[in-house]
């Protein structure tokens, strides 16, 4: 049964959960066998003024992508704080950035409707929490949509335009709810925030 499930996951471009080491001397030390380091962003995710790292690993066989985040320390080198194998898919054309103690993930979609999606996560005690979501998309018909959802401040802005028509704008407040952890987002290209 396990072999059947594994074959299905690989066919979908997904890999079974990969066990990573909990600590390492360098960010590159976390790359497991069968994977390569595809992208790296260095910066500060906490106030200790020691550089942390966000990385994307690519599977050498399937091409699947894995997001890995490690924090630095003077005593232990680097410690694994996040591993996600669903947020960034093979066709997402990702980019990473650490700025203002936040992790920013940029995803680009060029197949079908073009889309540019930005995620802003901040590391807290429990997990990386989603603070802001932004998306700009344009269909082949010329219709476009811009959306900004600030979960941390509790508001959203949305603008839609059908071809040559005038844009329709909407702004509102979000209900007070706990911020979502990165693990609950799923596929970053398919995630759709629930608006009132």
Same domain as 2, residue 64: yes
| Other Cβ atoms closer than 10 A to 127 | 17
Number of domains making up the chain: 2
For residue 167, the model assigns a pLDDT of 77
Same domain as 164, residue 95: yes
Same domain as 115, residue 184: yes
Give the pLDDT of the chain (196 residues) as one tens digit per residue: 333 333 333 333 334 489 999 999 999 999 999 999 999 999 999 999 999 999 999 999 999 999 999 999 988 899 999 999 999 999 899 999 999 999 999 999 887 678 999 999 999 988 999 999 999 998 877 788 999 999 999 999 999 987 666 778 999 999 999 999 999 999 999 999 988 8
Same domain as 101, residue 61: no
Same domain as 157, residue 126: yes
Q: Is the pTM of this model over 0.75?
A: yes
Same domain as 36, residue 76: yes
Range of the domain at 150: 86-196
- Domain edge (last residue) among 27, 55, 85: 85
Tell me phi and psi for residue 52, to 5 degrees.
Answer: -110, 175
């Amino acid at each position: 049964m396990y072999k059947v499930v594994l074959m299905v996951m690989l066919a979908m471009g997904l890999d079974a959960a990969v066990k990573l080491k909990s600590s390492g001397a360098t960010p590159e030390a976390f790359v497991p066998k069968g994977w390569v380091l595809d992208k790296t962003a260095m910066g500060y995710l906490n106030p200790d003024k020691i550089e942390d790292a966000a990385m994307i690993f690519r599977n050498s066989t399937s091409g699947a992508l894995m997001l890995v985040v490690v924090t630095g320390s003077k005593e232990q080198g680097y410690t694994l704080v996040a591993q996600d194998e669903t947020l960034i898919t093979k066709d997402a054309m990702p980019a990473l950035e650490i700025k203002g103690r936040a992790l920013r993930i940029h995803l680009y979609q060029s197949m079908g409707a073009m889309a540019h999606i930005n995620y802003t996560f901040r590391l807290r005690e429990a997990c990386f929490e989603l603070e802001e979501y932004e998306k700009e998309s344009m269909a082949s018909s010329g219709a476009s949509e811009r959306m900004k959802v600030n979960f941390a401040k509790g508001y959203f802005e949305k603008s839609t335009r059908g071809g040559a028509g005038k844009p329709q704008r909407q702004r509102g407040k979000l209900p007070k709810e706990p911020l979502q952890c990165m693990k609950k987002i799923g596929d970053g290209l398919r995630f759709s925030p629930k608006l009132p």
